[in-house]
Amino acid sequence: MSKPLDPVLLRTVSSARSAVVVTALLVVGQTAAVVVGALLLAQVLGGLVFGSATWAEVVPAVAGFTLSVLARVALTTATEWRAHRGATRVIAELRELTLRHAVALGPRWLGVHRAELTTLVTRGLDDLEPYLVRYLPQLLQTAILTPAILVVMATQDLLAAATIAITIPLIPVFMWLIGVATQRTTEKRLAAQQRLNARVLDLVAGLATLRSLGRARGTVGRVRELADAERRGTMGTLRVAFLSGAALELLATLSVAMVAVGVGLRLVEGEVALVTGLAVLILAPEVLAPLRAVGTHFHASADGVAAVERCLEILDEPTPTAGTGPIGPVDEARWDHVTVTPPGRTRPAPRDLSATVRRGRITVLQGPSGGGKTTAALALLGLVAPDEGSVRLRADDRWHDLADVDLDQWRRQVAWVPQHPVLEPGTVREVVGAVDIPDHQLERAARLAGFSEVVAGMPQAWGTPIGGRARGLSAGQRQRLALTRALLAPVSFLVLDEPTAHLDSASAGQVAQVVRHAAEQGTGVLVLTHANELVEIADELVTAGVLEEVTT
């Protein structure tokens, strides 16, 4: 962050505000305990050493000192406990805000920044915990405890307080110089992590293909190079941390030594009372302790701070403007000379696409891989904004520009089955969204989608739990599950992206029957496919921007 405690983070994350307020109150209590304990300890030692007080006379002061120590321990423990709880909440809230904003930025932005976003919301934000648990409390102690104790020292011995006040600015100067070097190191390390994560994600995604081609070991060397770069970055951060720790300890030691020498000489001359001198010597290290801890913990939190900076930059990026106009039941959806350049590509796909999806009819969008079929569907759903042209919806006997209407109202009228459907963990009934749907309706949809046979083979039928992304099911079974979920939704349009990609010919024919049945029930069906079974039943074929009417 650009500041030790960035106001932008406090404005953005409500959990951070509450964490700072509670920690500040606990630090105030710690400060009071430190001051009271130091003064009472100096009184006890001074009276006993000087012989001006007996043990019986110092018992109340000893009891007060003991209570102050116990209070300081309790407040320190409470501060750390509260910091851990607050860190969990702040990280979770910032992660959610970043993910929601990234989704709002749209698939085009996600396509370019997917690897970076993965790093930020996982390892990057997890590294924020040392900042919130260690660095932030010490920073607040520096802001509250250090000046408070300095003021108390000034009331006891102005010269000693002035000595500390003169040496204190040297510590922030050195911290700033070392911090500049640390920032460059952590930025390089975060970039290395992002490259490594992106490479590993690509490797895992294409591992099956690489193994089939005998190229699985070809990327080992590159991954090793990236891992070595991250290791070097980590060691560089540790070297800077050790250097800064040594520099801060040296400055703090010299500052306390100067106070001790001055107090000792004036004690010999009789210019300072013993109790006052002891109080000053006890308080002097406490003044500098928070500053030393801030420098130590800054490096442990540097990686998380760099991740937060990037998250705040993402949250600052403007999201595409969405319309707010109401939209009634839609009869037709149309691409009107739509051109879109997908993320990471230089050529548009689709280009100058004009076609209409009507209720009660089957529209098949075909073309080569990379021709823009999925991108066209995303544009129709308002997930991608066209570079040229527009998407229009016909409702209430008039046309509406998609950019002007409430997208949530439009999307509630559409069931979308992507080529790789997102399936949350839960029971099969929960995953298909059929918790409140009657059994006969659920069985009918499953039978149409060819999923009833899959359910029959499960140990607990519809109550069988499945993991995230429907682990345990084949790709074809996941697709039929997603199709069942789409058939259960009360929608006017059904969008299917390669629904037969993972199915055999018999199952593909069953999907064709589902598509025909949905159209007969008045649903507008858009299918993105190469499969002949679906092309043959199309009412309208769209190929490379050319609309072909099919006689039925």
Instruction: Return the half-sphere exposure (C-beta side, CA atoms, 13 A cut-off) of residue 12.
Output: 23
Whether the per-residue pLDDT at 265 is higher than 60: the answer is yes
Confidence of residue 552 (pLDDT cuts 50, 70, 90): very low
Confidence of residue 67 (pLDDT cuts 50, 70, 90): very high
Q: What is the pLDDT of residue 70?
A: 93
Q: Residues 473-488: pLDDT tens digits?
A: 777 778 888 888 888 8
Instruction: Name the fold adopted by 7-316.
Output: ABC transporter transmembrane region fold (1.20.1560)
Q: What is the pLDDT of residue 547?
A: 46
Sequence-distant (≥ 6) Cβ neighbours of residue 22 within 8 angstroms: 82, 86
Instruction: Name the fold adopted by 330-549.
Output: Rossmann fold (3.40.50)
Name the strand (E) or helix (H) holding 352: none
Instruction: Return the half-sphere exposure (C-beta side, CA atoms, 13 A cut-off) of residue 356.
Output: 12
Question: Which of 83-87, 120-124, 170-174 has the highest average model confidence (pLDDT)?
Answer: 83-87
54: left (phi over 0), alpha (psi -120 to 50) or beta: beta
Q: Within 10 A of 180 (CB to CB), how many other CB atoms are there?
A: 10
Is 4 strand, coil or helix?
A: coil
Q: Which amino acid is at 532?
A: N
> What distance in Å separates the CA atoms of residue 499 and residue 293, rounded to the nearest whole number?
59
Q: What's the whole-number mean pLDDT along residues 246-270? A: 78
pLDDT above 90 covers a percentage of the chain that reads 1
Cα 106 → chain centroid: 16
> What distance in Å separates the CA atoms of residue 529 and residue 519, rounded to the nearest whole number?
17
- Report how many helices (DSSP H) and strands (DSSP E) the chain contains, helices first: 21, 12
Domain boundaries, the chain: 7-316, 330-549
Q: Residues 492-531: pLDDT tens digits?
A: 898 888 887 766 777 777 788 888 888 888 888 898 887 7
Residue pointed to by tokens 């005998």? 214
Same fold, 7-316 and 330-549: no
Query: What are 112's two structure tokens?
Result: 């370019």
Name the strand (E) or helix (H) holding 301: none
Q: Residues 99-132: pLDDT tens digits?
A: 888 887 776 677 667 777 877 787 777 777 777 8
Nearest C-alpha neighbor of 204 from the set 214, 194, 191, 216: 216
Q: What is the pLDDT of residue 312?
A: 82
Q: What is the pLDDT of residue 424?
A: 76
Q: Residues 365-423: pLDDT tens digits?
A: 887 777 778 888 888 888 888 888 888 888 888 888 888 888 888 888 888 888 777 77
Answer whether 0.85 is exceeded by the pTM: no
Sequence-distant (≥ 6) Cβ neighbours of residue 52 within 8 angstroms: 46
Q: What is the pLDDT of residue 546?
A: 47
Confidence of residue 335 (pLDDT cuts 50, 70, 90): confident
Q: What's the whole-number mean pLDDT along residues 452-461? A: 78
